[in-house]
Amino acid sequence: MNTRLTLSIIFFASLYIFTLEAKTLDPYKVLGVEQNASQREIQKAFHKLSLQYHPDKNKNMGAQEKFAEINNAYDILSDEEKRKNYDLYGDEKGSPGFDAGNPGDNRRYTYFTSGGPGHSGFTFRPDEWKNMGGHGNSKSFSFSFGNPGGQSSFGFGLDDIFSNFFGGDMKGGGQFGGFSGSARSQSGSRSSPKSIQAVNSQVYRKEITDKGITWLLLSYTPTLKGTQYYESIVEEVASSLQGALKVGSINCETEMTFCKDLGVNPRRAPRVFVYSYKASESGSLVEYNGDLAMKSLKTFCQDHLPRFSKHINLRNFEFSADTMDTLPKVMLLTTKKDTPVIWCALSGLYHKRFVFYDAEVYDASDPAVRRLGVDALPAVVGWLSNGEKHILKTGTASKDLRTAVHDLSVLLDSFEKKNKAAASSWAKKPWTESGDKQIPLLSGSNFDALCGERTPVCIIGVFRSSKARDKLEAILSLVSQKSLSRRPNAASSSRDSISYALLDATKQPSFLSSLDKAGFKSLDKLLVAYKPRKGKFGAFVGEITTEEVERFIISVLNGDIQFTKTRQKPTLK
């Protein structure tokens, strides 16, 4: 009997000391956030404290324990279910014990569970001790022990106590389940990051490989230390660039072959990669080896965003012939020196569907900007594959990157549909009786009808190759459908004043020789404005685009082009 009493005293004395040392820490206080803090606020607080107390950076005494507390607190508050349980019961597992009190008012308790079949446990409230047997002022605890049949109050033998407390059979090496939290968080042993998409070989093939969008990838194994810390940095970078990149994690414990094939197996710590398009049009994995800090990793990600937009000088820019009549084009006018993140992202998402340009301009009063018809910055200007220009967006831009990418994606989708309709319309245009498409080929038989003295101005597209002919034909066909008028005081419209024709300079060299002695022989294509009545001509020898052709014709109608007397009256064979 004395032996049992002695064991009881030793047990409760040890238990008293043990439970005082195992004081529950309020995760909100550990992270320094309010109980109604958002996930973003919790994430920021965790990131800040992790940087401060990470064992690799902080060698002070107690830093490692503090780091474990921070991880444990984040593990609770970053998980919706655990946080809810903690708010209701003061325990992330939702196990209030025997005397739980009112929901939401239990953080004064400490909870321990044995992890055994009956989930045995006990609770105590430090500020409210119960009197034991009325002898003096001795203090005691109130215990409850679970079993398959329900809970039992204290009142059975020590064998039962130890059996239930340690999860059944003491010989089996039972442990205090309630003390696994800090060690688990410190080692980063969760099965997978919560808010990051899990990536396997199938996801990688279908959603990542050469899809035009940058991915930030974390490779890890559950037993590696610091996984949660890495995850926090990756999540914060992904959140700041949301819309411009996606984020994923690869568990190399369950995806061993996949990790080996990619060459991303983690070593002593998790590894961070970016699926980059910086080097070529085909994406490739590039490992980040810098300091694990949010700012540095974000800069690295931005540097590896798609670079499919050509940065140009707007004043010297002309569309090249090799992209004409194939893809629609879009240009961003911005005051930023470098290509903005949003435009890099879109250039990847819509690669091979659009030709992207971006230009740095000072303000909307820039002559090159005004020439495009833009009155506010930033602005997006688009050209259909037939050369027709459209102002797609001007003025304010959304501050939220994700929203901005979405809005511009909708805009580009709509413009792409318009381009397909325009291309279809051009393909269906009727042919003339002579077999030419809309714009007739100038010859001796139709010269008087097209460019005779009854015609005020004859616009002639001169070509020396089939490629040049196709381009001129497409542009002049489009321009001929428009009403390009003189200034408001002019008496007639362009449709009545202008005729359009094509000229094959390889078969009709005498026509150009009658205009100029050199016969423009060095040019593959040019545009000639001929005034039959006055025997004068003007020539445009710049880059042939729809916009420039329209501008040239309007200048001709307004008298802004200097005309030259022909050497002799043009003749055709």
Q: Which CATH superfamily is domain 197-303 in?
A: Glutaredoxin (3.40.30.10)
**Which residues share a beta bridge with 1?**
none
pTM: 0.53
Domain boundaries for CATH 1.10.287.110 within the chain: 2-186
Among candidates 470, 498, 503, 461, which has minimal Cα distance to 482?
Answer: 498
- In tens, the pLDDT along 184-219 reads 333 334 444 556 899 999 999 999 999 999 999 999
- Nearest CA-CA partner of 560 in 538, 528, 544, 545: 538
Q: What is the CATH number of domain 309-427?
A: 3.40.30.10
How many CA atoms lie less than 13 Å away from 54 in the CB half-sphere? Answer: 18
Quick one: pLDDT band at residue 241, thresholds 50, 70, 90?
very high
Short-list 15, 404, 184, 362, CA closest to 370:
362
The pLDDT value recorded for residue 5 is 54
Residue with the larger pLDDT of the pair 225 and 405: 405
pLDDT given at position 43: 82
Query: What 3-state class would DSSP assign to 3?
Result: helix
Selected residue with higher pLDDT from 305 and 113: 305
2-186 maps to CATH 1.10.10.350 = no
For residues 267 and 107, the model is more confident at 267
Give the count of beta carbons closer than 10 Å to the beta carbon of residue 565. Answer: 10
Nearest to 242 by CA among 341, 126, 376: 341
User: Where does the chain hold its CATH 3.40.30.10 domain(s)?
Assistant: 197-303, 309-427, 447-565
Which pLDDT does position 72 carry in this prediction?
A: 87
C-alpha–C-alpha distance, residues 143 and 444, integer Å: 113
Band of pLDDT at residue 421, cut at 50, 70 and 90? confident
Instruction: Give the total residue count for the chain.
Output: 573
Rounded CA Rg of the chain? 39
What DSSP character marks residue 128? -
State both tokens at 142. 């109130």
Pick the CATH number of 447-565 from 1.10.275.10, 3.20.20.70, 3.40.80.10, 3.40.30.10: 3.40.30.10
Mean pLDDT for the chain?
A: 77
User: Which pLDDT tens digit goes with each residue over 17-48?
Assistant: 444 444 458 999 999 999 888 888 888 888 88
Instruction: Of 110-114, 250-254, 390-394, 522-526, give the lowest mean pLDDT range.
Output: 110-114
What is the mean predicted confidence (pLDDT) over 123-131? 41
Other C-beta atoms closer than 10 Å to the C-beta of 208 total: 18
pLDDT tier, 460 (very low <50, low <70, confident <90, very high otherwise) = very high
Whether residue 378 has a cis bond before it, omega within 30° of 0 = yes
Report for 106-110, 387-391, 418-422, 468-472: range of highest mean pLDDT:
468-472
452: Cβ contacts below 8 Å, ≥ 6 apart = 532
Q: What per-residue confidence (pLDDT) applies to 483? A: 64
Top pLDDT among 173 and 385 is at: 385
* pLDDT at residue 490, as a whole number: 40
The span from the CA of 370 to the CA of 226, in Å, is: 55
Token pair recorded at residue 134? 């009325």
Confidence class for position 68, pLDDT limits 50, 70, 90? confident
Question: Tell me, what's the pLDDT at 1?
Answer: 52
